[in-house]
Chain A
Amino acid sequence: MTPFVLVFAPVFTALFGLLFSSVVALRPPTLPLSVRVPQSHSADPVVLTAIRRFRWGLVVAWAVTAALTAVLAFTDVAPLAAVVPVLLYTALAILDLVLSRRLIIRAKREGNWFEGVPVRVSAQLTTPAYRHPPIIWPALAAIVLASATAVDVALYPSLPDPIAVHFDAAGDPDRFAAKSVWSVFGILMIGAAVVVLLSVISVFAARYAARTQSDDTAQQASLRTQVQRTLLTSMLSELAFVIALGISAIDLAQRLLPGARWTVAACAIGLVVLVMVVVIGNVARARVHLRPANVRDPEHSRPDAVDDDHHWKGGLLYVNRDDPALVVPRRFGLGWTFNLGRPGGIVITIALLLVIAGLVTSVILLAHGR
């Protein structure tokens, strides 16, 4: 049992829960918990109860996973205490969302909320101008990674051979590899790949084509597009920097303080916390900027959006054969999701799942010395 194992899952799931709960306010008031409701019912008591229940559900899920962490940490499978609770928490949070939104769906159906309500499908004919994502964070990330590489190059002749490449939960090296470019610089290469990948995605995020909420005015629709673009581009480029910083710190901790036990774990926890701080900070900022877009002015009434709930499975997965879009903005949370009603969407989703499964498997295989 180590402090790292005990602390990791509760801290991570608490931040994750905070994020999950705060994205509720990022969505328009007519999409509570990813359920489409007309403006006349956006503050319906059932809606408010469902959101409250969802938030309490997250607290309960956290308590359950924290208890599980404590139990696992005292068994002989202690390293699992860092991973299993996080997976369990994710599953419980999704279950919480699915169950809470059912309340609204049932009330909507039984009360015929959409009966006689004028609905429209809306789009922005003139779209806000495309702006390049900020270059400062990827540039800083490159500088940090280059500096770490320079230190490694300088230290290379004096590094031991074989070199420690993995540490157990207690902070002691438990696996060694022959000194080579891969075993010394591999971690920085992974860091560089992640920075490049995040920067490329942020360029796409800057072109983010939002779906227009029919109940938004033209100004609100443009504001929503702008805020969502800025949120994604700035978050991704800041993440690129934070990850470069964390990976460089882990690398330098191994090279400069090989005897110290907690440095690597401390850097890893620091990295996870920083990632969550960047994500939550960006979401909090977006919430403030989005506030005017979520106010409904009775003087300038707008039509409601078409009830498209049947295309959103569990409020999270989008399946619509008749929609030409391959990528659509998520209805709950950040970013996009693929349209699983199109062959391309299915292929990309399967490919992504295979890549993730492959990465997880290779990490596990590496951690256990093949």
Chain B
Amino acid sequence: MLIDIDPDSESPLYQQLHDQVVEAIADGTLQPGEALASVRQLAVQFGINSATVGKGYELLRHEGLVRTSRRSGSVIARGPADEQTPGFEPGWTARLRTLLAEAVAHGMADGAIRATTDSLLTEFAARRAERTSS
């Protein structure tokens, strides 16, 4: 799987790495147990500082999406089919609240917000189904 980092983006590089891994887990591109390149390998491939990549991995580990062991390196720790991560919802709801408020503040209609949310969720599910069938 490819990670594309936009060097000119306002979003920090480690955040872009984190976000793409999360999306790939949601749409089934990355499966539980799948091995990831090491921090060093990825930094050398990108040609960016190891600390930046390390920060992205650390964030994913902290969220329980990636686990690292000395023997097998970093692997994807869970997938959409696994039981919901305990204690995950409050923090996520707070962030979602800000995102929704942003849409409302910019004049987006409630219906349009719901439609966008639905279409994104449908897209993730469709990609997952595509993976399992092929």
Note all chain A residues with C-beta closer than 8 A to B6: 118-120
Note all chain A residues with C-beta closer than 8 A to B15: none
Note all chain A residues with C-beta closer than 8 A to B24: 125
Which residue of B34, B45, B49 is within 8 Å of A123 (Cβ)?
Answer: B45
Note all chain A residues with C-beta closer than 8 A to B22: none
A-B CB contacts (within 8 Å), total count: 80
Q: Is B21 an interface residue (CB 8 A)?
A: yes
Which residue of B7, B37, B44 is within 8 Å of A121 (Cβ)?
Answer: B7
Among the listed stretches A65-73, A90-98, A141-149, A209-217, which one makes contact with chain B, having 4 or more residues with CB under 8 Å of it?
A209-217
Q: Mark A118-141, 1 if CB is under 8 A from B, else 0.
A: 111111111100000000000000
Note all chain A residues with C-beta closer than 8 A to B2: 122-125, 212, 216-218, 221
Interface residues of B in 28-46 (CB under 8 A from A): 30, 34-37, 40-46
Note all chain A residues with C-beta closer than 8 A to B40: 324
Q: Mark B1-27, 1 if CB is under 8 A from A, else 0.
A: 111111110000000000001001000
Which residue of B3, B7, B41, B49 is within 8 Å of A306 (Cβ)?
Answer: B7
Q: Is A325 an interface residue (CB 8 A)?
A: yes
Pairwise interchain contact B47-A211, C-beta atoms closer than 8 A? yes
Which residue of A126, A214, A320 is within 8 Å of B35 (Cβ)?
Answer: A126
Within the assembled complex, what's the spacing in Å between the Cα atoms of A36 and B45? Answer: 17
Note all chain B residues with C-beta closer than 8 A to A345: none
Pairwise interchain contact B45-A211, C-beta atoms closer than 8 A? yes
Q: Is B104 an interface residue (CB 8 A)?
A: no
Pairwise interchain contact B1-A125, C-beta atoms closer than 8 A? yes
Within the assembled complex, what's the spacing in Å between the Cα atoms of A217 and B4? Answer: 11
Q: A120-B6, A218-B2 are in contact. Are A126 and B34 (CB under 8 A)?
A: yes
Q: A122-B3, A211-B45, A214-B4 are in contact. Are A127 and B50 (CB under 8 A)?
A: no
Q: Is A303 an interface residue (CB 8 A)?
A: yes
Q: Mark A199-228, 1 if CB is under 8 A from B, else 0.
A: 000000000011110101110010000000
Interface size on A, residues (CB 8 A): 27
Q: Is A168 an interface residue (CB 8 A)?
A: no
Pairwise interchain contact B47-A121, C-beta atoms closer than 8 A? yes
Note all chain B residues with C-beta closer than 8 A to A122: 2-5, 46
Within the assembled complex, what's the spacing in Å between the Cα atoms of A325 and B4? Answer: 18
Q: Which residue of A lies closest to B2 (CB)?
A: A218
Pairwise interchain contact B47-A127, C-beta atoms closer than 8 A? no
**Looking at B2, B24, B42, B50, which has the most chain A CB atoms within 10 Å of its CB?**
B2
CB distance from A120 to the nearest CB of B (A): 4
CB distance from A72 to the nearest CB of B (A): 45
Which residue of B4, B21, B34, B49 is within 8 Å of A324 (Cβ)?
Answer: B49
Note all chain B residues with C-beta closer than 8 A to A118: 6
Note all chain A residues with C-beta closer than 8 A to B36: 125-126
CB distance from A303 to the nearest CB of B (A): 6
Pairwise interchain contact A124-B4, C-beta atoms closer than 8 A? no
* B residues adjacent to A (C-beta < 8 A): 1-8, 21, 24, 30, 34-37, 40-50
A selection of 26 A-B contacts at a CB cut-off of 8 Å is A118-B6, A119-B6, A119-B7, A119-B8, A121-B7, A121-B47, A122-B4, A122-B46, A123-B42, A123-B45, A124-B37, A125-B1, A125-B21, A125-B24, A125-B42, A126-B1, A127-B37, A127-B41, A209-B41, A209-B44, A211-B47, A212-B2, A214-B4, A218-B1, A218-B2, A325-B47
Given A125-B21, A322-B48, A322-B49, 13 extra CB contacts under 8 A? A120-B6, A121-B4, A121-B7, A122-B4, A122-B46, A125-B3, A125-B24, A125-B30, A125-B37, A209-B44, A211-B45, A324-B50, A325-B44
